[in-house]
Structure 1
């Protein structure tokens, strides 16, 4: 198990390095920040002085080497917008996104496990058909469309929910609902398939023959052996929630890392873009390690192997 964790960690570090390189060079294809932060009447001398102050007149590879050196020292550069360390700006926004994911993911797992398990108990039944239909619709519907429709229906037309912001618990309903829909739809399908396989196993048939209640068979005997595929897909969906937060936070005006990234791209705040991507990638890396550890807790064969 330790060797497996080490291998996954090494793969994540290599992926992280390539991701940082990609983001660094692509961000600079958007143009010079001087065009946005200096007035239109700025002279060429003023533009050159601005670029020199922030290191933008250095060769691109020199800028990249300086950026890597800053990472090793814990310095990810200074935000052009806020005139503060970019890492501080990102870490202030990240807890909002983390809270959004922390509320959404348990809700997703609860819906997926209960719905998928009950649907698998009687395949082809009414509940199974409804659950499959709704989950397929949820898994196929784009987040941005659901978010916009949610604002139009519940905020503008009915007026029961706010359009944006984070002031009260009502502000969280639409963002959480939008983020929940797609991963829940995917995981219901995975849970249903995995549970159907477990329910057809010999030990479940033996439990049925002994007269064990359906509730115990589903949520005690079959559930544990059905969770590994769900956890595997759930880890990908959790990472997808961070990606979905970019859209959701922009639509609903949530002051999280997703909205911060969009604003930083539009305003060419390179340091904040790089810091936001790095922090998000590290969060996904830690999530994957926790998922790998959870395998050992659920399946003793992995732990002993």
Structure 2
């Protein structure tokens, strides 16, 4: 297990190093930083002073070395907009995004596994057809359109739910519901397909022949063997939710890292943007490592 996890951690560390290189050099392609951070009518003396203070007069490799060293020490610079350490600003927003994503994925996972398993057990029947139809609609509908329709219907027309903020439980209903729909549809389809294959296996037929009830057959005998592809999709959807919450957070005014990135780009606070990219990437790498651990637990053959 240690060797297996060591290989996965090494691959993640290499990917993170590549990301640091890309983030640095791509950020330099945005143009002269003085044009981003200083007023248009700033004097040449002010521009030169800005370059000197921020080390922009040094060779590019020297700047990269300093940037990589600072990143390794979790120093992403100062937020120009908020006059705070960029990492501190990002972590405050990331806590909201992580809470929203974790809550949504927990609900999605439980609902998709239960509904998908029952649909596979009743394949071809009414429940299966309804579940398949609902999942296809959910997997196909774009998040931004669902969010706008939900605001118009439940907030503007009916006045049941608030449109933005996090002041109460009711403020979370619309963002969680909108983020719930797409991964629920995708995961339900994978659970259903994987469970149909597992339920047609010999050991399940033997359990049925021995008179084992339906619930143990579904959730004990078949589900564990059907979980590997399901875990893959859950991991992909969870990572996608961290990245894809930008639109939903912006529409609902949710104070997460997605909205923070949009605001920082519009206000040219690029130290915060770079910090947000790195924090999100590290979170995704850790999530993928947890998925690898779950693989190894469910199927010991993967360790070898």
Q: Give the TM-score of the pair, scaled to structure 1.
A: 0.93
The CA distance in 2 between the partners of 1:49 and 1:247, in whole Å, is: 38
Rate the CA distance shift 1:84–1:117 in 2: closer, same or farther, 3 A.
Answer: same
Give the aligned partner of residue 165 of structure 2: 165
Unaligned runs of 5+ in 2: none
Rate the CA distance shift 1:175–1:44 in 2: closer, same or farther, 3 A.
Answer: same
| Deviation per residue, 1:234-281 (Å, 9 max, x gap) | 111110110121111111111111111122222222221121111111
Note the C-alpha offset of 1:189.
0.7
Note the C-alpha offset of 1:58.
4.0
Note the C-alpha offset of 1:49.
2.3
Give the aligned partner of residue 254 of structure 1: 254
Rate the CA distance shift 1:164–1:56 in 2: closer, same or farther, 3 A.
Answer: farther
TM alignment of 1:169-184, pairs within 5 A: 169-184=169-184
Unaligned runs of 5+ in 1: none
* SS of structure 2 residue aligned to 1:30: coil
The CA distance in 2 between the partners of 1:101 and 1:4, in whole Å, is: 28
Give the aligned partner of residue 139 of structure 1: 139
Give the aligned partner of residue 150 of structure 1: 150
Give the aligned partner of residue 197 of structure 1: 197
The answer (yes or no) to whether the contact 2:161–2:171 under 8 Å persists in 1 is: yes
Note the C-alpha offset of 1:29.
3.2
The CA distance in 2 between the partners of 1:264 and 1:38, in whole Å, is: 15
Q: Which moved more, 1:174-183 or 1:291-300?
A: 291-300
The answer (yes or no) to whether the contact 1:33–1:267 under 8 Å persists in 2 is: no
The CA distance in 2 between the partners of 1:116 and 1:32, in whole Å, is: 53
| Deviation per residue, 1:49-84 (Å, 9 max, x gap) | 233333344444433222112123332212221222
TM alignment of 1:68-87, pairs within 5 A: 68-87=68-87
The answer (yes or no) to whether the contact 2:90–2:276 under 8 Å persists in 1 is: yes
Give the aligned partner of residue 110 of structure 1: 110
The CA distance in 1 between the partners of 2:37 and 2:70, in whole Å, is: 24
The CA distance in 2 between the partners of 1:30 and 1:267, in whole Å, is: 14
Give the aligned partner of residue 267 of structure 1: 267
The answer (yes or no) to whether the contact 2:20–2:68 under 8 Å persists in 1 is: no
The CA distance in 2 between the partners of 1:57 and 1:267, in whole Å, is: 24
Note the C-alpha offset of 1:302.
4.4
Q: Give the TM-score of the pair, scaled to structure 2.
A: 0.93
| Deviation per residue, 1:150-188 (Å, 9 max, x gap) | 112211121111111111111111111111111111110
Give the aligned partner of residue 213 of structure 2: 213
Give the aligned partner of residue 67 of structure 2: 67
Note the C-alpha offset of 1:194.
0.6
| 1:24 equivalent in alignment to 2:24 | yes
Q: CA RMSD in A?
A: 1.9
